[in-house]
Structure 1
Amino acid sequence: MRFDSYHPAINFIFFGVVITAAIAFNQPVFLAIGYICFFLYSVKLNGKKAVIFNLVLIPCIILFALFYSGYNHFGVTNLAVNFIGNMITLESLVTGLVIGVTIASVLIWFSCMNAVVSSDKVVYLFGRISPRLSLFLSILLRMVPRIKERAHKINVAQRAIGRGTGQGNFFRRIRNFLRIASIVVTWTMENMIETSDSMKCRGYTLKGRSAFSIYRFDYRDRSFVLAIFWCIAVLLMGVLLDQTRIMYNPEIILNRVTPLSWIFYSAYAFLCLLLMLLQMIGEKRFEQKKRSRFRAYGNFG
């Protein structure tokens, strides 16, 4: 059972917690656990596209670390001198790697969130609080796929008259691209105005407006919330005991890893892998029910 079948509030709570943890925890063990778990869940959720996206992020992390260490000078462990004569230190290089892994982890989680949280969930959560904000977010979430589809249609139509983005010489291709981009921008602005006016005419921004929804907070959602808050409580204990922090300036100072530290590592790994475990369990149950029904129908025949 995928995570998108849970209540929208649960989706936002979970992604809010893991994204906050990915930004706040700079300890190497937590970074490694988080990045590996995020990588695995994104591949489980999005398939080959996630593999390509995640692998592209790895050289970007390395390049950012080299750039960061070349222009930020702190630390006591000298490694080399760059082309402009500045000293590269181990502390600045590791800090650049930490920042790069953090940014990559957040991007991976946002890609998972984009696959799980749909526009109707955003409208459901924010519709009662702020109808205007809900309308803006729903239009914004639908904008990217609709612009992509519209640009493809316009390009096909322009290609039929010899004005496609891949036709002509270099300068003509640029001119064709700018023409298509102008058409897409004009269509997008007109469509946003029409959508906004249409929703206002339907009374979308009125106070006390009711809306139909298929979401219900059941026992499964309550159990998931309890599991999340149990992990949060354990991680907060780790924060209070300084198990999630490390010093990089002026030298790398890491707290001693104790048997208690493995409890915090396990809790964080369990939190990050919770969605993938639930999906794997749901798929296994579905296959078992499918086989049992097939056997029952086969015996009946």
Structure 2
Amino acid sequence: MGFECCHPVINLLYFAAVIAASVLFRQPVFLAISYISAFAYSVKRNGRRAVLFNIGLLPLAALFALYYWSYHHFGVTVLFRNFIGNSMTLESLFYGVTLGLQAAAVVMWMRCVFSVFTTDKVVYLLGRISPRLSLFLAVLLRMEPRAKTQLFRINTARRAIGRGSDQGSFFRRLPNDLKIFSMLVMWLLESLAELSNAMRNRGGALPGRTAFSLYHPDNRDRAFAVVFSAALTGVLMAMLLGQTDMIFDPALLMVPFTVASGFFCAAYAVLCLLPMGMELFSRLRFERQRKRI
């Protein structure tokens, strides 16, 4: 019902645009928009767990900023000198904070990517390029949940004879864990061999193989593409005019904020908040239709 229901190409283009913008844009307003949008959308996609995870990124960003500040001493605004006489400057501290927030924003956007992209979408996108690679990834992605299930079965069976991974002392658990891991590796090798023979017998390695999919663009994808293109155009104009960059060495310097800058920031905010707006609109429309029934 939300952004995950859009065409995989739309999902790919959108996340490529916002992640690239989060990496390239260093102007404080654009950086704040990227961070807040990524925070809000990751919470919308992943629930309460995302709140704790995203808040936990802030101390890590602060630690990185302090680390960067202690080793890089460029800039003209000296705050103080450390115990070995190096200048601790405002410019290096501000640049370290910027890099930390950029990394935090990218991590949050990647959590959104993992929640939106399913195995079918990855197989579809790669299947258009290389059907063999698509088949290979489908086999590997399917193997991961099967391996978890098999690991649970092996551990349950060994617990019945007192040799589970959580039974006995530390010196007894270690060989138990190694034996369980050995059994799981043997099962994986046998399963991969069986899958390889099955795919070969079904013609998976024959030339001219194509990829089947049920994804077709609809009016929702077209509407999203129109709004996305308009917002992206405004963001690209901001890049060309230098509105998204900032100079840190030797002093903090950026383009003065004008009415045009407000327009570019609004276009970037629309770009970043577009999936959330789409999901909220779909939810509201669904609730209205349900009330009519």
TM-score, normalised with respect to structure 2: 0.89
Listed as ranges, the gaps of 5+ residues in structure 1 are 294-301
1:49-60 correspondence to structure 2 within 5 Å: 49-60=49-60
Residue of structure 2 equivalent to 1:273: 273
1:249-269 CA-partner distances (Å, limit 9, x unpaired) = 222112111111011111111
Report the alpha carbon displacement of residue 31 of structure 1 after superposing the two structures with TM.
0.9
Task: Say which SS state the counterpart of residue 228 (structure 1) adopts.
Answer: helix
2:131–2:210 CA contact under 8 A, matched in 1: no
CA distance in structure 2 between the partners assigned to 1:132 and 1:76 by the alignment: 56
In the alignment of these two chains, the number of paired residues is 293
2:131–2:211 CA contact under 8 A, matched in 1: no
Task: Say which SS state the counterpart of residue 213 (structure 2) adopts.
Answer: coil
Task: Say which SS state the counterpart of residue 76 (structure 1) adopts.
Answer: coil
Residue of structure 2 equivalent to 1:299: none
CA distance in structure 1 between the partners assigned to 2:233 and 2:6 by the alignment: 22
Residue of structure 2 equivalent to 1:296: none
Report the alpha carbon displacement of residue 291 of structure 1 after superposing the two structures with TM.
1.4
1:131–1:205 CA contact under 8 A, matched in 2: no
2:74–2:249 CA contact under 8 A, matched in 1: yes
2:124–2:213 CA contact under 8 A, matched in 1: yes
Report the alpha carbon displacement of residue 232 of structure 1 after superposing the two structures with TM.
1.4
Listed as ranges, the gaps of 5+ residues in structure 2 are none
1:106-255 correspondence to structure 2 within 5 Å: 106-255=106-255
- AA in 2 matched with 1:129: I
CA distance in structure 2 between the partners assigned to 1:66 and 1:221 by the alignment: 44
2:78–2:88 CA contact under 8 A, matched in 1: yes
Report the alpha carbon displacement of residue 214 of structure 1 after superposing the two structures with TM.
1.9
Cα 1:55–1:175 shift into 2, 3 Å: farther
Residue of structure 1 equivalent to 2:31: 31
TM-score, normalised with respect to structure 1: 0.87
Residue of structure 2 equivalent to 1:8: 8
- AA in 1 matched with 2:75: G
Identity of aligned residues (%): 50
Report the alpha carbon displacement of residue 102 of structure 1 after superposing the two structures with TM.
1.4
Cα 1:160–1:104 shift into 2, 3 Å: farther
- 2:105 aligned with 1:105, yes or no? yes
2:238–2:264 CA contact under 8 A, matched in 1: yes
1:16-40 CA-partner distances (Å, limit 9, x unpaired) = 1111111111111111101101111
CA distance in structure 1 between the partners assigned to 2:126 and 2:9 by the alignment: 10
1:22–1:102 CA contact under 8 A, matched in 2: yes
Cα 1:98–1:174 shift into 2, 3 Å: farther
Answer with 43-52 or 204-213: which moved more. 204-213
Task: Say which SS state the counterpart of residue 274 (structure 2) adopts.
Answer: helix
Task: Say which SS state the counterpart of residue 79 (structure 2) adopts.
Answer: strand
CA distance in structure 2 between the partners assigned to 1:80 and 1:179 by the alignment: 58
